[in-house]
């Protein structure tokens, strides 16, 4: 069981939980209602896809030799020999099946758009590191996260709740996706030396340490900066969710700027996860405040 937990990477789950959480809050702001059954199915599907992605990543990276003895991050189940690649693949497919089960319930509620959202998400759980064009090996990991763990996850959840595609969902999806991308960027910067020797051409490998630090700074700055658009959209209290991005984001940026890649980056990754959760909590609190003032 410990090996399965290693492969599932529970510390990454905020990236699946937060988009659904904040999107349901936004749906409640816009319509005054939130269908808890649909929210539970959306959350279940998101978590299942995230875990499946992690299982595929664990097995595929091991097969490609991307997880070596030089690894600075947490132990990988397949590469360390705790689980066979076949077992990890079976677990991944099982979680994809669970995601399909949740998706079928959402399809009954909202129809064909669920397929448009869900089918690419299911495929890219594998295609992120596997297939003929693995995104993580082509320097597209950050783009993938902003798109699928941000824009699509948030806007899709709002659609499930409301049946519409409001501009506010895209704004919130962009903020959430950028904060999730910070996690990938820190991870890739930490592993740059190892990845350079195994053919994993992340942005950090392609452009070097200074550029990778600049990408993290840009992700944080954009996530905080675009929050000002909440004022333009008439939801001024929601802009306060950008405050922790500035405060905690500075600590993250200072860490990657002043420290050489190493085990200390695992603490910065944890701080990035905390930032994502704090952003969601303050966004939720701000939404409650807005409801009291209207």
Give the per-residue pLDDT at 267.
93
What's the token pair of residue 178? 């950028």
- Successive 10-residue mean pLDDT values, the chain, 294 residues: 76 92 97 95 96 89 64 66 84 95 96 94 90 86 94 97 96 97 94 85 92 97 96 94 95 95 90 96 95 77
Distance between CA 19 and CA 40 in Å, rounded?
Answer: 13
Predicted pLDDT of residue 73 = 59
Q: Which residues contact 275 (CB under 8 A, 6 or more apart)?
A: 179, 182, 244, 245, 248, 249, 252
**Nearest 10 degrees: Cα torsion 109, 110, 114, 117:** -130
Residue 83: which domain range? 2-293
Terminal-to-terminal C-alpha distance of the chain = 49
What is the token pair recorded at 261? 């890649």
pLDDT at 12: 85
CATH number of domain containing 281: 1.10.600
The CA–CA distances, whole Å, from 104 to 18, 26, 50, 123, 156 equal 22, 24, 18, 16, 15
The total number of structural domains in the chain stands at: 1
> In terms of pTM, does the model score above 0.85?
yes
Q: Is 286:241 a contact under the CB 8 Å cutoff? A: yes
User: Got the DSSP string for 257-275?
Assistant: HHS-SSTHHHHHHHHHHHH
Lookup: tokens for 189: 């910067």
Structure tokens at 199: 């053919």
Task: Identify the pLDDT of residue 60.
Answer: 85
Match 């999107």 to its residue by tokens.
23
């Amino acid at each position: 069981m410990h090996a399965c937990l290693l492969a599932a990477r529970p510390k990454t789950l905020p990236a699946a939980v937060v988009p659904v959480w904040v999107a349901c809050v936004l749906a409640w702001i816009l319509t005054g209602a939130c269908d808890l059954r649909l929210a539970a199915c959306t959350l279940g599907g998101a978590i299942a896809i995230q875990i499946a992605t992690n299982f595929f990543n664990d097995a595929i990276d091991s097969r490609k030799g991307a997880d070596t003895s030089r690894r600075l991050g947490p132990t990988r189940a397949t590469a360390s020999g705790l689980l066979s690649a076949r077992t990890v693949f079976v677990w991944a497919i099982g979680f994809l099946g669970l995601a399909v089960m949740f998706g079928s319930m959402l399809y009954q509620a909202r129809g064909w758009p669920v397929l448009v959202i869900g089918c690419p998400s299911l495929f890219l759980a594998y295609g992120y590191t596997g297939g003929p064009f693995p995104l993580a090996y082509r320097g597209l990991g950050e783009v993938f996260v902003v798109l699928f763990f941000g824009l699509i996850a948030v806007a899709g959840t709002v659609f499930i709740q409301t049946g519409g595609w409001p501009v506010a969902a895209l704004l919130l999806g962009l903020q959430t996706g950028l904060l999730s991308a910070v996690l990938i960027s820190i991870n890739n910067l930490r592993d740059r030396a190892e990845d350079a020797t195994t053919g994993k051409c992340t942005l950090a490998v392609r452009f070097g340490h200074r550029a990778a630090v600049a990408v993290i700074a840009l992700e944080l700055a954009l996530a905080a900066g675009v929050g000002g658009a909440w004022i333009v959209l008439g939801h001024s209290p929601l802009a306060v969710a950008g405050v922790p991005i500035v405060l905690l984001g500075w600590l993250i940026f200072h860490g990657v700027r002043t420290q050489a890649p190493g085990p200390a980056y695992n603490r910065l990754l944890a701080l990035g996860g905390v930032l994502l959760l704090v952003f969601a909590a303050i966004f939720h609190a701000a939404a409650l405040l807005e409801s009291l003032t209207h």
